[in-house]
Amino acid sequence: MATIAGIAFEIDRAGADPAFAQVYHAIRRRIVQGALKTGDRLPPTRSLAVDLGLSRSTVNAAYDQLIAEGYVASRQGAGCFVRPIGDVELADAVAPRRRPPSPPQPTDKSGPPTPPVFTPGVPDMRLFPYSQWARTVARTSRTAPAALVASSDPFGDMALREAISEHIAEWRGVHAPAERIVVTAGSGDALEICIRALAAPGDRVGLEDPGYPPLRNFVRSLGLKPAWLDIDAGGASLPTAEAPPRINVLTPSHQFPLGGAMAPARRGAHIAWAAANDAWIVEDDYDSEFRYSGRPIPAMASLDTDGRTIYVGGFSKVFSNSLRIGYLAAPEGMADRVRQVLRDYGVKASIAPQRPLADFVSNGEFYRHLRRMRRLYDERRRALVDALRRSLGPLADFADHQAGMLIALNLPPNIDDRAVVAEAATAGLGPLALSAYYAGGQPSSGLVLGFCAFTPAEIEAATTPLAEIISRQAAGG
């Protein structure tokens, strides 16, 4: 049990809410009710964790959520202090009811429900900077309301394109003026635009195997022929000499779903291959922001002096998977093809979030959020790695690339990964079968495990039942 502002509370370990959410709600309730006042200092995370019998990372997650929503401010070296929350919310919280209470309604401001543990490729929307984003949208509504509903350019809002141009130049070494930046409805939309612009029915398109299933389905829907690029220790293999593809779609910074970065020599070989075959490379810079050790790996587009590489990025994994904002940087001479595709098939990217996002990037809020997420996701990655090794022992065969948002866990060949996934789903867990990502060669049995959307405590609690399922399958059910 812990006491804050003279009010004791304890964790319900059998409750439906995770422990960090219970700590968050308990403190938030005391702030809203006025028991904790502006300027009051919260207990240090270490001492509160000891009082509650929780890990310090669990309390840190609760404090991070309070900071993200603007209830608490962190002062370097001094701790966390209650911020002013405004008279309206406080008055609503303490005013007596003037009518009979209505049926309970959801009041959680922490964002959408958490997906099943181990669901891969999703950010933790409980930690989204809702207050900062709301202020940014409100400021845009006051200063440039037309930008929320109208755009004169199918390539998107110029302010956002300028912000993206500066971002990829500084962070990824990709130099493309705003005039060649195209805002899209996520990175998947950007990949589709590139393929429509560069390939005709009957052309071959090089796709990584294993790779992204929706992309290969889209390629086939256009009457294009996939050319499978097997993944080895160096990354995606080069296409065979016979019938070379028109395009190679690659994830060189962090291969999806196996992880790992493409070796420098292999990158150079792909670039040379594209120049020699009058072909193109579409670089999906998947998860490049989340590298937890070592120096950032340069984008392939930054190394291509022949202008044959189209760079594709997005904000879904690093910011919000609901805003659906991605982008592509078209090489010189390709912009007209992209513009024609948008005329033929329409613009899918919503204009409403574009100007606020431009402001969010330009004023530094996006980078503050990114740095915070990188720190938390690294902690969660290490929690998953430790839990897998501890729970699975010799069955825990995986590569820790210290990057990305997921881990590919290899299973013995005698284990049906789809059966593991089906049983895990009945236990409320969300891993995906690695074999489902293969299309060309012999699929490998394994699990794709996400860790970013889940606290270390949630990962620890979910690893035990997953290990039991895997062990039963290994023993023949």
User: What are the boundaries of each domain within the chain?
Assistant: 2-97, 131-365, 373-474
What is the mean predicted confidence (pLDDT) over 370-392?
94
Contact predicate 461/383, CB 8 Å: no
d(CA 271, CA 472): 46
On the 0-12 / 13-18 / 19+ scale of CB atoms within 10 A, 276 is exposed
CATH number of 2-97: 1.10.10.10
**pTM listed for this prediction:** 0.76
What is the mean predicted confidence (pLDDT) over 290-317?
88
Question: What tens digit of pLDDT does each residue of 191-221 get?
Answer: 999 999 999 999 999 999 999 999 999 999 9
pLDDT score of 49: 83
- Label the pairing between strands 446-450 and 406-410: antiparallel
Contact predicate 93/37, CB 8 Å: no
pLDDT score of 206: 96
Least confident span in 40-54, 248-262, 387-401: 40-54
Instruction: Using DSSP, state whether 220 is helix, strand or coil.
Output: helix
Question: What tens digit of pLDDT does each residue of 138-166 get?
Answer: 999 999 999 999 888 999 999 999 999 99
Instruction: Using DSSP, state whether 166 is helix, strand or coil.
Output: helix
pLDDT-derived band at 111 (thresholds 50, 70, 90) equals very low
pLDDT-derived band at 2 (thresholds 50, 70, 90) equals low
d(CA 87, CA 102): 23
Q: 443 Cβ partners below 8 Å, 6+ apart?
A: 210, 434, 435, 436, 437
Least confident span in 30-34, 175-179, 457-461: 30-34
pLDDT score of 231: 95
Instruction: Using DSSP, state whether 348 is helix, strand or coil.
Output: coil
Helix (H) or strand (E) holding 72: strand 72-75
Fold of 131-365: Aspartate Aminotransferase; domain 2 (3.40.640)
DSSP state of 111: -
**pLDDT value at 325 more than 90:** yes
Fold of 373-474: Aspartate Aminotransferase, domain 1 (3.90.1150)
pLDDT-derived band at 181 (thresholds 50, 70, 90) equals very high
pLDDT score of 47: 85
